Structure formats: structure tokens, C-alpha cells
């Protein structure tokens, strides 16, 4: 049986791990990020990959573990960890949203290399946040790439690619990406990546696939998203802010401030700024709150006021009649 080692942390990686197991390619070890204290209550947070594995596998310490379907959570991918991994004689690796760049010394212990699943059509959108950037930039198409990992970020040769079709998203009728939000696109690309992995790995092992170098001159890169990136600059075009709403939901959220309180915009649509108000001024549009932008305006369909529950924009306007005509 082929000895596979899986590296993954986020919910995106769960689909690929599940796909391997369901298709008779269960890994001998799963490497994921350590548990961390997170949130206001500083509660211990476990990675989605570890949660998926816990029901049927043993959790081992990074320093000492045995072959078998186990979850290993190293703080560092250092030489000590690499030496432990060598003991199980791994043959091929899979990386999906692990969160760390794997060093050359680790890659070299895999005779068949390490396959990396990336949610974009490489060489475009390398880096940590391709799905968000695809939506922010108003792309009309995207997809998934499987590359042979090297020591640089999303840099290795391409083994296979497939384009995403909106027919892959249940109950989604748009013909392009102009209405899709982060959650729908993330889930669809995760599923697509898992299907492509299950199809690609046996062919790569059998020597039926040739790796093709990326055109590095066409590479684009994404940034690590921060909480403050979600704050709205109303001088931007309405269509840009609407794409922010879709790209940054659920995190970090797209927000503004009203009366020194944060107001998250959950869903919005672009409308004309027929009143010619200055950017950032609120007004009423068809019983919903709207805000003027640098070009056009934004109708706030669903909002989440600080300290309250998410609600329709018209319900929010009823409770804030003084909002009309005021700046945020």
C-alpha cells in the first residue's frame, strides 16, 4: 500500500483528505497545525483537519509517533521532525492549505514528491488568500491547480488543472462569479480540488502525467488578510465595495462605523447614486438603507450591528430613522 503523508489545516483541506480516504488512499499520517488559544475567552482551538480525524484516529506527539493513521502537530518543521518522518518511509505527500512553507529537506524525503492543491489557476493568485482576491478583482473564471511542490510558494510545475463552473454550486444560477461569495466559492473549489486530487495522484504515480513548469512571468501574488482590511473606504466605487462584502464574509467582515459602533455589511447590491451625495452619506432607497460611494451607491440588504443579531437592512433602518442623510 502506498505510504501517503497529508499536510493540511483548514476546512479547505478536509475535502481532499476525505476524498483520499473514501477512495482507498488513506494516509499513514496527517500533519496539521498545533492547537491554539483563540477568541475572547482564550479557548483552545483545534484545526478542522484534526477535528475530522479525531473520530477515527490516534493523536500523537510530534516528537515520538508510530506508523498508522495518526494526527501529528509539530510546532516546527525542523530536522528532528524530518528524521521522525523518515522512519515511516513515506512515498508521496499531499499539501492542502497547511499554512507553512515546507523546506527542501522535507520535500526530498518523498520519492514521488509532494502534491499541492491550490484554489486558483496558477500562476495567477499564488499565496494565502486566492479565493478572496479572485472575488475582489472581479474575475470571471477561476479553478484549481495541482502542482509538484518545491521550496518556493506555489511555484512548482503543474500536474493538472480544472476550471470551476458555477453549475458546481447547488442552487446557484449566475453564469459567472459576479454574485458568488467567499463561502460558496471556497466550498466549491475544495470539492473540485478533492476530485482532481483523486484523479491526478494515481496517474502521477503511474507515470502517465508530465509536470509542466509554470510561466513565472505571469505570476500574481495575494496578501495575508488582516482584520483592518474589512474597513470600508466609501470613496471607492460601489462595485468594489460590493465585491469586498462577498470576499470578506465571514472574516474579517466588511464594516463601517455609525455613531462609534461597528456596522457589518453582510449583503449588498450596487445602485445608482441619483442623489449625488458625497461618499459615505446614508440615504433611504426602497425602504432600505443605502450609502453613497465614490461612484454609484450601495444598497444594504443585510447588516449586522455591533452587539446585535444579523438583520435585514429595512429592519435596521426602522430602528435607526436618524440614519438617513447622515455620514457614517
In the chain, % of residues over pLDDT 90 = 77
Top mean pLDDT of 165-169, 232-236, 281-285 is at 232-236
Please check whether the two domains, 4-218 and 227-323, share a CATH topology: no
How do the domains of the chain map onto residue ranges?
Answer: 4-218, 227-323
pLDDT greater than 60 at residue 56: no
- 172 pLDDT tier (thresholds 50, 70, 90): low
4-218 has which fold?
Rossmann fold (3.40.50)
Q: What is the pTM of this model?
A: 0.91
- 55 pLDDT tier (thresholds 50, 70, 90): confident
The C-alpha cell 483552545 sits at 44
pLDDT greater at residue 62 or residue 243: 243
Q: Ramachandran region of residue 312, left (φ > 0), alpha (ψ -120 to 50) or beta?
A: beta
pLDDT greater than 70 at residue 125: yes
Task: Give the pLDDT mean for 4-33.
Answer: 94
pLDDT, the chain, mean: 90
CATH 3.30.470.20 fits 227-323, yes or no: no
Instruction: Give alpha helix (H) positions in the chain.
Output: 11-22, 48-54, 79-86, 104-107, 130-136, 182-205, 238-247, 313-319
pLDDT greater at residue 237 or residue 40: 237
Edge-to-edge strand order for the sheet containing 4-8? 58-60, 70-72, 29-31, 4-8, 92-96, 114-118, 143-148, 158-163
Q: Which three cell numbers stand for residue 282?
A: 446614508
Model pLDDT for residues 129-155, shown as the tens digit of each residue: 999 999 999 998 899 999 999 999 999
pLDDT greater than 60 at residue 63: no
3-state helix, strand, coil split of the chain in percent (to 5) is 30, 25, 45
174 to each of 139, 140, 210, 218, 258, how far by Cα in Å? 14, 11, 35, 28, 33
Amino acid at each position: 500500500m502506498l505510504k501517503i503523508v497529508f499536510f493540511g489545516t483548514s476546512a479547505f483541506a478536509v475535502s481532499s483528505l476525505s476524498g483520499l480516504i473514501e477512495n482507498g488512499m488513506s494516509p499513514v499520517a496527517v500533519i496539521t497545525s498545533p492547537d491554539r488559544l483563540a477568541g475572547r475567552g482564550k479557548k483552545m482551538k483545534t484545526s478542522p483537519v484534526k477535528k475530522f480525524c479525531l473520530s477515527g484516529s490516534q493523536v500523537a506527539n510530534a516528537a515520538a509517533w508510530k506508523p498508522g493513521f495518526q494526527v501529528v502537530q509539530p510546532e516546527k518543521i525542523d530536522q528532528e521532525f524530518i528524521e521522525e518522518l523518515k522512519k515511516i518511509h513515506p512515498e508521496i505527500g499531499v499539501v492542502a492549505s497547511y499554512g507553512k512553507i515546507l523546506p527542501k529537506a522535507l520535500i526530498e524525503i518523498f520519492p514521488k514528491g509532494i502534491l499541492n492543491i491550490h484554489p486558483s489557476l496558477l500562476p495567477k493568485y499564488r499565496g494565502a488568500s486566492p479565493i478572496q482576491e479572485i472575488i475582489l478583482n472581479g474575475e470571471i473564471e477561476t479553478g484549481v491547480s495541482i502542482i509538484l511542490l518545491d521550496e518556493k510558494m506555489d511555484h512548482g510545475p503543474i500536474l493538472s488543472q480544472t476550471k470551476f463552473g458555477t453549475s458546481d454550486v447547488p442552487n446557484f444560477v449566475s453564469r459567472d462569479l459576479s454574485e458568488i461569495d467567499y463561502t460558496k466559492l471556497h466550498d466549491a473549489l475544495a470539492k473540485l480540488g478533492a476530485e482532481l486530487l483523486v484523479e491526478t495522484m494515481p496517474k502521477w504515480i503511474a507515470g502517465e502525467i508530465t509536470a509542466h513548469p509554470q510561466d513565472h512571468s505571469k505570476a500574481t501574488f495575494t496578501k495575508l488578510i488582516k482584520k483592518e482590511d474589512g474597513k470600508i473606504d466609501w470613496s471607492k466605487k460601489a462595485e468594489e465595495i460590493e465585491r469586498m462584502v462577498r470576499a470578506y464574509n465571514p472574516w474579517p467582515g466588511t464594516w463601517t462605523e455609525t455613531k462609534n459602533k461597528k456596522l457589518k455589511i453582510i449583503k449588498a447590491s450596487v445602485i445608482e447614486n441619483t442623489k449625488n451625495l458625497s461618499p459615505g452619506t446614508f440615504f433611504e432607497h426602497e425602504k432600505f438603507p443605502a450609502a453613497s460611494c465614490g461612484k454609484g451607491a450601495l444598497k444594504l440588504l443585510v447588516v449586522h450591528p455591533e452587539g446585535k443579531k444579523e438583520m435585514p437592512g429595512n429592519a435596521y433602518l426602522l430602528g435607526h430613522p436618524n440614519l438617513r442623510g447622515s455620514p457614517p
